[in-house]
Structure 1
Amino acid sequence: MWAILALSLAGAILLVEVARRMLAKAGSKWSLPRHLVEHCTWAGFATAVIIVVNLVFNPGQFGTTPRDLSRDAAIDHGLGLVTIACVTWLIVGAAYAVTDVILDHLVLVEGEQNRRARRIMTQIALVRRVATAVIVVVALGAMLFSFPQVRALGAGLLASAGIAGAIVGIAAQSTIGNMLAGLQLAFSDALRLDDVVVVNNEWGRIEELTLTYVVLRLWDERRLVLPVSYFTQNPFENWTRHGSRVLAVVYLRMDWSVPVDALREELHRYIQENPLWDQKDWTMQVTDVLPNGLVEVRALMSAADSASAWDLKCDVREHLVGYVRENHPEALPRFRVDLPTGPVRHTAAWAGDPPAPRPEA
């Protein structure tokens, strides 16, 4: 029996290894075999081994005494539990491999279709987490109901399911609320992976979106972790809600002598040479006269995404500051004070001045 078991195990392992090598070779051309090797290798080995052991092992072959039969029944039951666990592991790995193929294609999508691709990526990521949770729960249920004692309690558990469900719902109210909020965000298209958002004056990108929490990668590489329900109960800015294009705005406060036409021509010349400009929108306007006597000049340029817009804005600001300083220094901001030119006449006496002399009669 042991020789048959050893030969069977060696054959099963060899068969899985041959399949793994074939899939790895095919993975150089197609993505599905590569992801199957990545997610299912160890699950495949474990499933093959446990299936072979189940096929070879036969209760009663080591003895027919009540003690032997009881021991064999326990071993058979344990093998069944391990088989359920291994098959569940293999199914979950295969599901992740198939969805990774779709995600790989969506990651490569750029331009105007990028927003729709990120929405689908978010939905797939959440749906497969839910599917994994459902598969694991079903597997645990099958493992529990393999015990005769649990099957005997089944009727009683079903009878009290309403009360138990109410108790669990009250105890896990916040968790369930977060899960529902996560599904709402994913399928309402309010938030997607890689969206640029501003939360509590913190600018960043959505790095991870789960059923219970959202990870926001801030501009300085910090991570802000928030519950999903925060985004359904509080306002936030989504800069890429309908597209990834962002307008970069630069404000300059300058003197009234600023040559706006020359500055506008210099802006256009510079952004045409800057690769961060998407060649679509630009303008320069005097937008305000400030209370301190300066005029506000606004330069506006479009960029493909928020990161490019930030860099473009900094580049334009640096260039215009240098251009004005070198070519039009008279337009640099200055504050004027008008002083009286004639003699100053006192119209009121200071509190500490001596009283004026009284005229004599």
Structure 2
Amino acid sequence: MQSPSDWPILVISVIGAIILVELVRRMLNRIGRKFALARHLVEHCTWPAFTVAAVLAFNVVFGPGMFGDSPSERGLAGTVERVLGLVTIAAVTWLIVQATYALTDVVLDRLVHVEGERNRRARRIMTQIALVRRVAGAIIIVVAIGAMLFSFPQVRALGAGLLASAGIAGAIVGIAAQPTLGNMLAGLQLAFSDALRLDDVVVVEDEWGRIEEVTLTYVVLRLWDERRLVLPVSYFTQTPFENWTRHGSRVLAVVFLRVDWSVPVKQLRQALYEFLQGNPLWDQKDWTLQVTDVLPNGLVELRALMSAADSPSSWDLKCDVREFLVDYVRDNYPESLPRFRVETPETRVGLAWEHTENK
């Protein structure tokens, strides 16, 4: 028979449960130096574990008689038990979702460091894991909310009536949630059709960038100037877009240089090749230096093209090559720096300047 005198036992039980979780946390923190799973469990599950331990300890010790034996006190105890039940469901759900994220983060950490030819497959798996765990988290939360609602007798009594009108209600909800459901299905379609992956290089709305995040409802594109373009997932299933890394993670980096006609292209091409051989960002495969155009302003356009293992390496390689070419031309062939010529009749060598008046 429980009584108000049991409150100290309840407090001690809750504090003991919290201390136990803290000891486990410290142990995992030490283990986490060698094992990634322990580290991620500490990162994601510390506060949910504290909450679950405290609530469960409270549930185990708490009883209806702790407030007293009068009807009003019994009613208050019943209300507290019902609230505890709701809090328990919420806390356990929180812990399960965070533990799921901790488990999947172990896999994602390994995939992030995959480079070379396996990078494309790794990014596809990362995209799928990120979307699937969001779907799983959403399902767990919906189930938890349903369990919380059905813990009320009034809601259970309405269950039969609601089932009778489930068809009409489902149709109404389906129409209202059509855009959201469409985006969710589009996200899953993108992930499992391999049409779009994290860190893919794409051109969308005339903007070049990399896929930074894929969620159930939107896609975040990080543009070259660090802006973020946020688009609904359904955009990528309904609108054409360019994917430069669809069949491989290798990216061709392009650098344009506008110089004078006197530039020695052969020597510049040889210098570029020697520079690329010593640059770790070049994947030792494709490269070229070509004269691609003669511009109307009198300059010659050179295009340096080289390949890199992935899009981040491509961007850094372009910057390195551009800096090298600028320094090389300035230091070795200053006469080939961009210049604009103006020719007048007086500057024509060997030609007589004749002035004719219109009469």
Give the shorter-chain TM-score range. 0.7 to 0.9
Tell me which amino acid in the other structure corresponds to 2:80.
I
Q: Describe the SS at the equivalent of 1:112.
A: helix
Counterpart AA for 1:194? D
Distance 1:294 1:32, change over 3 A: closer
Per the alignment, residue 330 of structure 2 pairs with 322
CA gap 1:11/1:268 in 2 versus in 1, 3 angstroms:
closer
Instruction: Name the structure 1 match of 2:111.
Output: 106
Per-residue deviation, 1:57: 1.8
Tell me if the contact between 1:293 and 1:335 (Cα under 8 Å) persists in the aligned partners. no
SS at match of 1:194: coil
Work out the CA distance in 2 between the residues paired with 1:249 and 1:61. 76
One-letter amino acid of the structure 2 residue matched with residue 311 of structure 1: C
The answer to whether the Cα contact below 8 Å between 2:297 and 2:340 also exists between their aligned partners in 1 is: no
**8 Å CA contact 2:199, 2:212 repeated in 1:** yes
The code of the aligned residue for 1:158 comes to L
1:20 pairs, out of 5, 25, 44, with 25
Measured in 2, the distance between the counterparts of 1:156 and 1:67 equals 32
The aligned counterpart of 1:182 is 187
Identity between Structure 1 and Structure 2 (%): 68
What's the counterpart of residue 34 of structure 2? 29
Name the structure 2 match of 1:359. none
- Stretches of structure 1 that go unaligned for 5 or more consecutive residues are 354-361
Cα gap change, 1:334 to 1:142, in 2 (>3 Å): same
Aligned 8 A contact 1:193 1:206 in 2: yes
> Which residue identity does 2:151 align to in structure 1?
S
Cα distance between partner residues in 2 of 1:18 and 1:58: 28
- 1:38 corresponds to 2:43: yes
CA contact (8 A) 2:260 2:336 kept: no
Deviation at 1:268, TM superposition (A): 2.3
From 195, 201, 213, give the equivalent of 1:196: 201
Q: Which residue identity does 2:323 align to in structure 1? A: D
* Shift in alpha-carbon separation, 1:222–1:57, aligned structure 2, 3 A: same
Match of 1:3 in 2: 8
Are the counterparts in 2 of residues 285 and 298 from structure 1 also a CA contact under 8 Å? yes
Deviations 1:69-108 (A, max 9, x none): 3332222211111111111111111111111111111112
Q: C-alpha separation between the residues in 2 aligned to 1:292 and 1:39?
A: 60
Change (3 A) 1:267 1:23: closer
Q: Is the 8 A contact 1:276 1:312 kept in 2?
A: no
Q: Distance in 1 between matches of 2:328 and 2:177?
A: 57
TM-score by length of structure 2 reads 0.84
Q: Give the counterpart letter for 1:201 in structure 2.
A: D
CA distance in structure 2 between the partners assigned to 1:167 and 1:55 by the alignment: 42
The aligned counterpart of 2:319 is 311
Q: In 2 relative to 1, CA 304–323 (structure 1 residues): closer, same or farther, beyond 3 Å?
A: farther
- 3-state secondary structure, aligned to 1:153: helix
Which stretch of the first structure deviates more once superposed, 96-105 or 286-295?
A: 286-295
Is the CA contact (8 Å cut-off) linking 2:255 and 2:318 kept in structure 1?
A: no
The whole-number CA distance in structure 1 between the counterparts of 2:298 and 2:23 is 80
Alpha-carbon distance in 1 for matches of 2:83, 2:135: 28
Answer whether contact 2:329 2:336 (CA < 8 A) is retained. no
Give the drift of 1:67. 3.1
**Counterpart in 1 of 2:307?**
302
Q: In structure 1, what is the Cα distance between the partners aligned to 2:264 and 2:31? A: 65
CA–CA distance in 2 between the matches of 1:63 and 1:214? 56
Q: Which amino acid aligns with 2:10?
A: L
Q: 2:212 aligns with which of 203, 207, 216?
A: 207
Listed as ranges, the matches of 1:80-159 within 5 Å are 80-159=85-164
CA 1:147 to 1:332, structure 2 compared with 1: closer, same or farther past 3 Å? same
Measured at CA, do residues 328 and 35 of structure 1 come closer, stay the same or move farther in structure 2, by a change above 3 Å?
A: closer
How far off its partner does 1:284 sit?
3.4
- Give the corresponding residue for 1:217: 222
**Aligned equivalents of 1:188 and 1:177: distance in 2?**
16
- Tell me what 1:356 maps to: none
Contact persistence 1:248–1:313 (CA under 8 A):
no
2:248 aligned counterpart, secondary structure: coil
SS of 2:304's equivalent in the other structure is strand
Query: Would you say the 8 A contact 1:248–1:312 is kept in 2?
Result: no
How far residue 150 of structure 1 moved from its aligned partner, in angstroms, is: 0.5
Q: What amino acid sits opposite 1:149 in the alignment?
A: Q
Go from structure 1 to structure 2 and tell me whether the alpha carbon gap of 1:259 and 1:100 turns closer, same or farther (over 3 Å shift).
closer
CA distance in 1, matches of 2:75, 2:336: 98
Amino acid at match of 2:15: A
Cα distance in 2 for residues equivalent to 1:259 and 1:12: 77
Counterpart of 1:241 in structure 2 is: 246
2:287 maps to: 282
**SS, match of residue 146 in structure 1:** coil
Extract unaligned runs of 5+ from structure 2.
1-5
What is the TM-score when the length of structure 1 is the normalising length? 0.83
Q: 1:32 to 1:299 in 2, by over 3 A?
A: closer
